[in-house]
Structure 1
Amino acid sequence: MKLFAIPFVCALAISSSFACDPSPLQDICVAIAEPKNAEPNLTVANDFLYQGLNIPGDTSNKLGSKVTLVIINKLPGLNTLGISLAHIDFAPNGLNPPDAHPRGTEFLIVIEGELYVGFVLSNQLGNRLITKVLKPGDVFVFPIGTIHFQLNVGKTNAVAFAGLSSQNPGVITIANAVFGAKPPINPNVLTKAFQVDKKVIDYLQSRFLSLS
């Protein structure tokens, strides 16, 4: 069995490598409000510029973190290039909660502080948790679609930058999606899924629906 395991995994990796943004058919394709004006010769440097990622985000919230995401709505020159980025600020004990990007792999670079990070492999791979404590200069990768998180375990503020392999990777914050869905998911579904009393589900739904 071991002889066939590696080729099988490699085959999966190769086939999934095509599940990303399509390759562009031109040098640039700046996202603009009026497609009829999409003339490459009319683009300017500001179409490819975003300023302000050096400004600390407001972490005075219940999670103690702030994600500043830069996608094509903020940087129109990213259109068709298959990438985007984010700046993440963490207060001490701040958390970027478990989430997933359905359309992009993410790599994280720690600039300041210490972060406990991790992602969970699929059911097929036993839901194994992959974790690491990162320090300034460390880089960690979260594979596309996996549930992942970052927690500031240091005594000071932490700062990280992230790059994503999609111009619009999407984000699904797990707790918000499950307990804050609109309209709410039927509690009978969640009590059976989480194997808890309905009072627990009612409480969690009330908490997350009140945040939205």
Structure 2
Amino acid sequence: MIGLKMAFAAVQISAGLSAIGARLRAVADGERPATHSELHTLRTVQDDLSRAFARLTDVMCPELILFMLSGLLQLIALVMLTIGSVQSGTAGNHAASIVSYALGAAVAVALPCELSQLVLSAVGETRDLLLRPRWQRPELFQLLCLFRETVGRDLTALGDLGLFRLQRSTLLALAATVLTYVIVLFQFYITSPTGDGADLSQQQNWTASPANRTDG
């Protein structure tokens, strides 16, 4: 339910922001003249849409954090189950569990980040359009400055949940965290008394020890 609510809101908001970008592109390309009233309306709508998305993430912040935490745990379970089943040759028996973990991790971790990135990309497109040289017009200077400040604020604040930010780079950070976790577990496994690496090391030490040799 959390993913569906956020998906619906994010798609609608990003569609509105993209429409603003399309109108700004038409003005910047010279297809239509830039008027003070139109730019003021676009800035107001931009601000309203951004505030709506910010309020959405603020209200859903506790739910989103727990939702993504469950997805991260599913991602860890997916990696460990996949590695263990491949090593034991039972990947076919655990195929259903692997698919279930993969879908759960994708919905809980990747979906919120991609939806927030969709909104941020639309805001970034508006920022790029406002930075075009064609906008350097004295009569629109003050309004354009306010528009750029609004867009700049959105690029730095949207999707922020306090502990982390919903954006595509968060996926890379989570993947690095899981990889680090798996590497540490394998190190414990190799050096543990029941690990194959430890058994091999103990066997070599026992063989090389003079006390364990016989003169025959």
* Band the TM-score falls in, shorter-chain normalisation: under 0.3
Higher RCO (CA < 8 A, seq sep 6+): 2
TM-score, with structure 1 as normaliser: 0.20
More strand by share: 1
TM-score, with structure 2 as normaliser: 0.19
Q: Which of these two proteins has the greater Rg computed from alpha carbons?
A: 2
More helix by share: 2
